[in-house]
């Protein structure tokens, strides 16, 4: 593994000076009110919305984890990266309801659709989920990247990056996050594209790579009997997780709520969906290239999660290597910044403000800043525990999300598609979902202590994709049954918050918010997704 040289350090320094300049410019423009701090004043255009969605999603845990997936014969996990069609669902299906309700957060939307109980549950559940799936994973990936690139201790690298990111997030709020993310997205895409191009040239092209690894390695559709990635469970559970992540999660949806209007927000999601197609080629393929070179004895790493930084440091020329290293660090920072801001928004708006409704705006902003610090500390503490759940970082991320997503996805989907779902059904489903999710995580960690023929071992050892699919079905049935056995929702409360209760005026307003270009580009994206699914069939 090559260390960075002086030209690389010049590139990194130049990039971070640019980043600091943008952050300072934004911090000087910001106002001390919650709409500006948490939603950038709701005045952002579609390009920045789309770039911010992409940069929030593609953090270093994706770069490191997805390349690790490509390097460790886990190609079926690629399906999570072609969820561009689910990103389109955010803009076309969910965003109009969120925009109409005028909410800051997803728990706030649940309060408008159902009641305050669901808001409380989702707020706490979301903050815990961020620690389990986003903060700890991102900090871990950052430690891997920083220690591999800079040759320093893992914990020193991880904590230094957290402190640096926390500073500009706390000071600048959401406006600092979305503008710095736009810069980071551009750099990361360009850097990874260059690495993929140079890497393919190094291995002798796509055909040579297939010859080395064998065509079956490139098959994302394993048989239904496959112990690791049965394709029916893979497709169903990845879609459930996708809808939760892209359409109902504060972390992503908050970006669309910063838009000037529904039109800009929807176009932001279409642009974000287009960018979402890139990771397959920019991050997964480098992992496969790294494995090919390792099998030929030209590259070495100890863990598959090191594939991307090792490939980058060995293949890229001086200077460019530093710029892509800066892009990787930027990706880490952008993910952390996004989740820090989302956590502080959830805590401040959905917990603190509910308990103290008369708190001044400046005090609310300060509360959000303090909340960020606490969440970061908990995330760092969780890192050693998460190492016991899964071997490859990306698989850990998807397995935990498969337990967290089903109840939330069920509540939001049925909440807007079925007007008979009531507050009691939603609340009961969320509570039941939290209990089952943590029960499954505990069983997975402790399964070796159980009798291998017993029920507890079976539930803890069940394939995480299969578990997620059955769990989602159970959540849907449970919520419908509880809702039908209890009171009918009040018509005034659910007006314009479900497909069955949209007024004619709102339908006309929504129709005027898009044109044939929006529809055509969306259809084109769906066709590309289908094309990728067909291409990776191992033939």
Examine the pLDDT at 504 and tell me if it is beyond 80.
yes
Number of folded domains in the chain? 1
pLDDT given for residue 38 in this prediction:
44
- Tens of pLDDT, residue by residue over 461-494, are 899 999 999 999 999 999 999 999 999 998 888 9
Whose tokens are 């910001």? That residue is 30
Q: In this structure, are residues 84 and 525 in contact, taking their beta carbons and an 8 Å threshold?
A: yes
Least confident of 63-72, 79-88, 212-221, 383-392: 383-392
Dihedral (C-alpha) 120, 122, 128, 132: value to the nearest 10 degrees? 180
Q: In this structure, are residues 178 and 48 in contact, taking their beta carbons and an 8 Å threshold?
A: yes
In a domain, 509, yes or no: yes
Question: How many residues make up the chain in this entry?
Answer: 539
Question: What stretch of H or E contains 186?
Answer: helix 154-203
Mean pLDDT of 2-27: 77
Triad 240, 242, 245: Cα angle to 5°: 110
306 vs 34 pLDDT, higher one: 306
- Tens of pLDDT, residue by residue over 383-399, are 666 555 545 555 666 78
- Tens of pLDDT, residue by residue over 176-199, are 566 666 677 677 778 888 889 999
371 vs 530 pLDDT, higher one: 530
Mean pLDDT of 421-444: 92
pLDDT given for residue 30 in this prediction:
54
- Tens of pLDDT, residue by residue over 107-155, are 889 999 999 899 889 888 887 777 777 777 777 777 776 776 667 776 7
Nearest by Cα to 15 from 442, 319, 337: 319
In a domain, 1, yes or no: no
pLDDT given for residue 301 in this prediction:
80
pLDDT given for residue 195 in this prediction:
87
Whose tokens are 């970006």? That residue is 255
Whole-number percent of the chain with pLDDT over 90? 29
pLDDT given for residue 39 in this prediction:
45
Mean pLDDT of 256-273: 89
Output phi, psi for 485, to 5 deg: -85, -10
In a domain, 109, yes or no: yes
Least confident of 1-5, 225-229, 441-445: 1-5
How far out from the chain centre does Cα 515 lie? 28
Q: In this structure, are residues 326 and 15 in contact, taking their beta carbons and an 8 Å threshold?
A: yes
Instruction: Work out the mean pLDDT of the chain and round it to a whole number.
Output: 82
Examine the pLDDT at 35 and tell me if it is beyond 50.
no
State the Cα–Cα distance between residues 112 and 106, nearest whole angstrom. 10
Mean pLDDT of 433-445: 88
Domain that holds residue 144: 6-536
pLDDT given for residue 390 in this prediction:
46
State the Cα–Cα distance between residues 250 and 109, nearest whole angstrom. 11
Q: In this structure, are residues 142 and 158 in contact, taking their beta carbons and an 8 Å threshold?
A: yes
Examine the pLDDT at 521 and tell me if it is beyond 90.
yes
Mean pLDDT of 438-456: 85
Nearest by Cα to 39 from 25, 49, 51: 49
Examine the pLDDT at 91 and tell me if it is beyond 90.
yes
State the Cα–Cα distance between residues 373 and 368, nearest whole angstrom. 9
pLDDT given for residue 41 in this prediction:
44
pLDDT given for residue 386 in this prediction:
56
Least confident of 24-33, 103-112, 486-495: 24-33
Whole-number percent of the chain with pLDDT over 70? 84
pLDDT given for residue 517 in this prediction:
95
Mean pLDDT of 258-277: 90
CATH number, domain with residue 525: 1.20.1730.10
Q: Is 537 helix (H, G, I), strand (E, B) or coil?
A: strand
Q: In this structure, are residues 40 and 178 in contact, taking their beta carbons and an 8 Å threshold?
A: yes
CA distances (Å), 189 to each of 87, 246, 277, 499, in order?
19, 20, 11, 37
Which residues neighbour 520 within 8 Å (Cβ) at sequence distance 6 or greater? none
pLDDT given for residue 65 in this prediction:
75
Mean pLDDT of 160-164: 70
In a domain, 319, yes or no: yes
256 vs 130 pLDDT, higher one: 256
pLDDT given for residue 98 in this prediction:
92
State the Cα–Cα distance between residues 500 and 113, nearest whole angstrom. 13
Least confident of 37-51, 218-232, 402-416: 37-51
For 273-304, give one letter per residue: b (16+ CB within 10 A) or e.
Answer: bbbbbbbbbbbbbbbbbbbbbbeeeebebebb
Rg (CA), the chain: 23
pLDDT given for residue 489 in this prediction:
92
Mean pLDDT of 497-524: 92
Q: In this structure, are residues 77 and 304 in contact, taking their beta carbons and an 8 Å threshold?
A: no
Q: In this structure, are residues 64 and 331 in contact, taking their beta carbons and an 8 Å threshold?
A: no
- pLDDT class of 420 with cuts at 50, 70, 90: very high
State the Cα–Cα distance between residues 490 and 513, nearest whole angstrom. 29
């Amino acid at each position: 593994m090559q260390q960075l040289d002086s030209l690389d350090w010049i590139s990194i320094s130049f990039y971070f000076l640019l980043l600091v300049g943008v952050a300072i410019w934004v911090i000087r423009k910001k106002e001390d009110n919650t709409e500006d701090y948490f939603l950038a004043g709701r005045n952002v255009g579609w390009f920045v919305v789309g770039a911010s969605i992409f940069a929030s999603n593609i953090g270093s845990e994706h770069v490191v984890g997805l390349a690790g997936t490509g390097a460790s014969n886990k190609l079926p996990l690629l399906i999570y990266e072609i969820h561009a069609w689910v990103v389109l669902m955010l803009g076309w299906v969910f965003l109009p309801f969120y925009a109409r309700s005028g909410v800051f957060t997803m728990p706030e939307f649940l309060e408008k659709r159902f009641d305050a109980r669901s808001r409380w549950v989702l707020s706490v559940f979301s903050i815990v989920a961020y620690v389990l799936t986003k903060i700890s994973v991102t900090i871990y990936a950052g430690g891997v990247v920083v220690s591999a690139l800079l040759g320093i201790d893992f914990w020193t690298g991880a904590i230094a990056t957290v402190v640096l990111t926390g500073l500009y997030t706390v000071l600048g709020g959401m406006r600092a996050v979305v503008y710095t993310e736009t810069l980071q997205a551009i750099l990361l895409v360009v850097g990874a594209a260059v690495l993929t191009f140079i890497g393919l040239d190094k291995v002798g092209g796509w055909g040579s790579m297939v010859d080395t690894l064998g065509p079956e390695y490139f098959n994302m559709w394993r048989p239904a009997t496959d112990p690791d990635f049965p394709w029916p469970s893979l497709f169903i559970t990845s879609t459930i997780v996708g809808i939760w992540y892209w359409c109902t999660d504060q972390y992503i949806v908050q970006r669309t709520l910063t838009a000037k209007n529904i039109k800009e927000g929807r176009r932001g999601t279409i642009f974000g969906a287009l960018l979402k197609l890139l990771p397959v080629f920019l991050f997964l393929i480098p992992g496969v290239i790294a494995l090919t070179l390792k099998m030929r004895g030209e590259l070495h790493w100890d863990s598959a999660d090191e594939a991307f930084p090792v490939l980058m440091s060995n293949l890229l020329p001086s200077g460019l290597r530093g710029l892509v290293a800066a892009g990787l660090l930027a990706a880490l920072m952008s993910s952390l910044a996004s989740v820090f801001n989302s956590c502080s928004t959830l805590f401040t708006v959905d917990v603190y403000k509910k308990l103290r409704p008369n708190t001044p705006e400046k005090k609310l902003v300060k509360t959000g800043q303090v909340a960020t610090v606490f969440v970061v500390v908990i995330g760092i503490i969780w890192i050693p525990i998460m190492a016991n759940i899964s071997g490859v970082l990306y698989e850990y991320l998807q397995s935990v999300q498969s337990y967290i997503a089903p109840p939330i996805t069920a509540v939001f989907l049925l909440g807007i598609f079925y007007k008979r779902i009531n507050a009691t059904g939603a609340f009961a489903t969320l509570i039941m979902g939290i209990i089952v999710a943590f029960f499954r995580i505990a069983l997975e960690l402790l399964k070796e202590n159980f009798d291998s023929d017993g029920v507890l071992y079976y539930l803890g050892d069940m394939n995480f994709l299969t578990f997620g699919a059955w769990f989602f079905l159970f959540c849907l049935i449970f919520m419908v049954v509880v809702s039908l056995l209890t009171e009918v929702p009040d018509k005034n409360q659910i007006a314009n918050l479900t497909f069955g209760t949209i007024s004619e005026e709102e339908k006309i307003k929504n129709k005027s918010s898009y044109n044939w270009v929006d529809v055509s580009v969306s259809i084109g994206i769906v066709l590309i997704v289908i094309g990728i699914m067909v291409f990776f069939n191992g033939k």
